[in-house]
Structure 1
Amino acid sequence: MSTQAGATAGDGTGRRGRTAGTRKVAALLTAAAAVGTLTALPARAAESAPPPAYSFDPAAQRIAGAASSADAKPMDPGKTYRDTLKKDGKLYYRLHLDTLRNSYVSAVAVPQPGGKTAYGDGFKITIQDGSGTTCGYQDVSFGSGEYVRPLTAYAQRIVHPDVSSCQEAGTYYVIVERESDATSTPDDWELELQHVTEPLLKQNGPDKLPDSWPSGTPEPVAGEPRERQGGNGFHDAVSLDTGEWRADIRPGQTLFWRVPVDWGQQLFASAELGSSDKGDDLVSYALALGLDNPARGFVDLQTVGFSGDPATATLAPRRPVDHKNRSSYESATTGMRFAGWYYLTATLSPEIAQEYGDGPVPLILRVTVRGDRRQGPGYDGDPGVFQVTKDDRKAAASGATGAEVTGDSTMVAVAAGGLGLGTVLLVGLGGWTLWARRAAR
């Protein structure tokens, strides 16, 4: 089969072409097998390797943020973009907005691993109109932890009769600006930017929130934890529903999961680091558990120290998901303003490697979605990402990643079959030989 494929891929002039083609195919097969062997190395070798990098959306388009609003490049709704943010940098992007939908632009800032930060280091994202009036903004920082991790924030422009500014159709600007201490690592940060829109309501109703709401923490789900390793970014975040989930996390690594939360439902989550017998020194802010909403807006972050005994970080109770939550003055409450996929992130401090070794640490994630699903607020159009569908609930039950649901065929093949990289290369090589035969014919 290989000899015949090599001949087909050659120029068809004789034996010499067939022999050369055969050698090329054999070399490719050998290389693929070697890569496959690398993927099967013992776990001990993998422990010393750096943790997996952030998984950017492969469909993201490159865009160059401008130093001035006059030179800003446009960002289209429904698109994801990539850019680079330098230390103390400030970037401008352009939006063309109408008066029929609300707009949200998010940024995920991804520092290079191993960097050092100071208190207050982070970034701010803002949407402004043409006169410089701020429509909405959010700023996030690493807090007291002195290690880098992906940071997420969003800005919004809302169309509402009770709002006096930013209500005209026209040109708006997104500004992403970074704040860094003089002692912080000066490396560039990679950005993943996303622009999503939300339809207005058919009819605006009262926005007053109820004074009381169920804030008590529910009983944890009984039973043994089930394996559900997290993804490495928003794009390949692993789906979860109510349950107790087991994963392994490396020092310096951030894992991503997503949970569908419908209108009227509440999300409760905690992450527990398993104990270690390798030491008892305290690592402050060892585990950071974060929550982001369907528009990739920051909602909450809780941290916990680790000294060898089990340690748990628990998200604060939040109101049920409700369109009215956006009327609150509390940023965490306004973040629970949509139905859709809510994202959980867990980051393990790289300092754990110095005190307890660089091997994976067991992590137990406990998730509860409480409350009956309610009707939506009456959108005047397709809600897009701001809804929970039957397919979403199926994905949560099966553990499908966002990449699998959106049709990333390569990741589907790897996840479904448990294939090593060498096997994937062989599959791709098989497809190449079939193409070559057809082209020759």
Structure 2
Amino acid sequence: MRRRGARAGRAMPVASAVLAAGCLTAAPPAQAWAAPAGAVPSRAADAGGDGAGSGAAGYAFADGIERIRGTATTTGAPALDEDGTYRDAIKKGAKLTYRLDLDARTNAYVSAVAVPGPGSKVGTFDSLKVSLQDRNGFDCSSNESRFGSAEFPRPIAAYAHRTMDRSRSSCQEAGRYYVVVERRGEGAAPDAWDLEIRHRLEPRPKAEGPTAAPENWPSASPPAPAGGPRERAGGAGFADATGLTEGEWTDRIEPGQSRFYRVPVDWGQQLFAGADLASSSGGGFVVSALDVTLFNPVQGVVDGSHSLSYDGKQKSADLEPMPPVKYENRFDSSARFTNTRFAGWYYLRVSLSPRVAEEFGRKPYGLTLRINVEGAPQAGPGYAGPAGIFDVTDADQDAAADGRSGTDAAAPDGTMRLVAAAGIGTGTVLVLGLGVWTLLARRRAARAEAPGGSGPAHHGAPTAW
């Protein structure tokens, strides 16, 4: 039995209380974020105040995100805490430095998402680089993401890591480390880019396993997903990316917009993904109109398709086959392997060039995602501690099936989202909710005690997400 139905049943009485309290409010709640005209609405909404919610270009930052200011040098660099998510901004040509305090047991990952403002100018070689360094300035690792041929502003991401490896002598000891985030290139406009920074830790395995990535693995693309297309609106950032399972999923995207989706990929599984842009009336031609990029659970780039041009006819972009997820992939020299080193949520970002509006009109365009997850789940490496985000749980599978995002999963249930949407005083909602709950409980008890009573009612209708 799905847990979602049970949760919906418990939420019903309080939902009624919320609706009742809504009648007492003097004014309707303000909508802080609006989707472009005609677009399928995203869940992103600017929470305001704490820096959460929508930012430049409508990007949805993580809820409860902490403001931080990186320094130009290691002197006074602010610390990044385990499982912390932070927001900063970086100017053209700048370097920002942050501090890490690491043990000698766990692998550490730090990612940065750069969000240029709408209408910003970016060039082929404009990029974001993230490095993780020891106290001697040695790079434990670094990664760089460029805009490439798709020269239009959109969120890009890169990550760096400190991986425990007995064959290495550097970056293995406990102590102070530094993260350096660089904005490189000369083609971009001078305006600052917003940054979303994450720090995550991965436990070591209890026992050592293979240290070589598999040489042979299935690379033939599977047949198209069965069952026909279903509608599901994408999110506006990594934090609120919409969950997807295997199948075809339709959405709408406007020029200049980015949509985010996430798919749970377990140990031993492969993800095959592609995107189709629907045809449109009118004439014109746009080079590198659609960008499709796949990211791993720590926002590292696995693969991307950046050069799909558009002439008004339907177009299709397929990502390269992803290797099966294996712990030992991290010991390979190829980025396609090293970036598929763990199980968890894999993210798809689809961005449509604003130039499409100039040639074909500012309107929503049809978008179809094709998702195949091949292979049976296998046992993981046997971590010495909680796997955290580097795992696929039953709850993750449920979230993908229901189309929930990370933001949805963080909320205790649908009740809290209803309370937030109504903009009602918490005390009023709780008092009214308790009254309605008590009344319904008494009625159920009365029905149960009455001759022929059927006992407590069960609410099986799913919560509206």
Q: Secondary structure of the residue that 1:396 maps to in structure 2? A: helix
* SS of equivalent to 2:368: strand
Asked whether 1:295 is paired with 2:298, we answer yes
Shift in Å, 1:211: 2.1
**Residue 117 in 1 paired to residue 117 in 2?**
no
> Which of 112, 118, 130 in structure 1 is aligned with 2:135?
130
Instruction: Write the distance in 2 (CA, Å) between the matches of 1:214 and 1:41.
Output: 41
Matched with 2:330 is 326
Unaligned runs of 5+ residues in structure 1 are 1-24, 415-422
Residues 1:160 and 2:165 aligned together: yes
Offset at residue 366 of structure 1 (A):
0.3
Amino acid at match of 2:344: G
Taking a change above 3 Å as real, the CA distance of residues 302 and 39 of structure 1, as seen in their structure-2 partners, is: closer
- The alpha-carbon deviation at position 434 of structure 1 amounts to 6.1
Could you tell me whether the CA contact under 8 Å between 1:404 and 1:411 is conserved in 2?
A: no
Q: Is the 8 A contact 1:403 1:411 kept in 2?
A: no
Paired position in structure 2 for 1:141:
146
What residue identity is the alignment partner of 1:187?
A: D
The superposition leaves residues 394-426 of structure 1 with CA deviations (integer Å, 9 ceiling, x where unpaired) of: 111111111011117689736xxxxxxxx966x
1:19 aligns with none
Q: Displacement of 1:58 after TM fit?
A: 2.1
- Give the deviation of 1:67 after TM superposition: 1.0
What one-letter code is carried by the residue in structure 2 that aligns with 1:209?
A
The alpha carbon displacement at 1:293 in A equals 0.3
Partner amino acid, structure 2, of 1:245 = W
SS at match of 1:429: coil
1:292-341: CA deviation from partner (whole Å, max 9, x where unpaired): 00111111110211111110111101210001111111112210100000
Of residues 223, 227, 232 in structure 2, which corresponds to 1:223? 227
1:145-186 superposed Cα distances (whole Å, 9 cap, x missing partner): 2211101110000112111211110000000010131x4211
2:286 maps to what in 1? Answer: 283
State whether structure 2 residue 424 is matched by structure 1 residue 429: yes
State whether structure 2 residue 238 is matched by structure 1 residue 234. yes
Coordinate RMSD, CA, aligned: 2.7
1:351 corresponds to: 355
Gaps of 5+ in 2: 1-21, 42-54, 433-465
Task: Give the alignment partner of residue 396 of structure 1, picking from 395, 400, 410.
Answer: 400
Corresponding residue number in structure 2 for 1:56 = 61
Superposed displacement of residue 344, structure 1: 0.6
| Matched-pair contact (CA < 8 Å) for 1:200–1:379 | yes
Deviation of the 1:206 alpha carbon: 2.6
Q: CA deviation at 1:204?
A: 1.5
Secondary structure of the corresponding residue to residue 71 of structure 1: coil
8 Å CA contact 2:57–2:116 kept in 1: the answer is no
Matched, 1:209 2:206: no
Closer, same or farther in 2 for the Cα pair 1:211/1:79, shift >3 Å? same
Question: 3-state SS of the aligned residue for 2:424?
Answer: helix
Q: Quick one: which of 87, 92, 96 aligns to 2:92? A: 87
Which residue is equivalent to 2:344?
A: 340
Match of 2:14 in 1: none
What CA distance in whole angstroms lies between the structure 2 residues aligned with 1:41 and 1:375?
A: 44
**In structure 2, how many angstroms separate the alpha carbons of the residues matched to 1:321 and 1:156?**
18
Secondary structure in 1 matching 2:75? helix
Contact 1:246 1:365 in 2 (8 A): yes
Change in Cα spacing, 1:41 to 1:144, as seen in structure 2 (3 Å) is closer
How far 1:224 sits from its partner (Å)? 2.2
- Give the secondary-structure state (helix, strand or coil) at the position aligned to 1:391: helix
What is the rounded CA distance, in whole Å, between the counterparts of 1:26 and 1:205 in structure 2?
A: 61
C-alpha distance in 2 between matches for 1:76 and 1:326: 24
**C-alpha contact (below 8 Å) 2:103/2:173 kept by paired residues:** yes
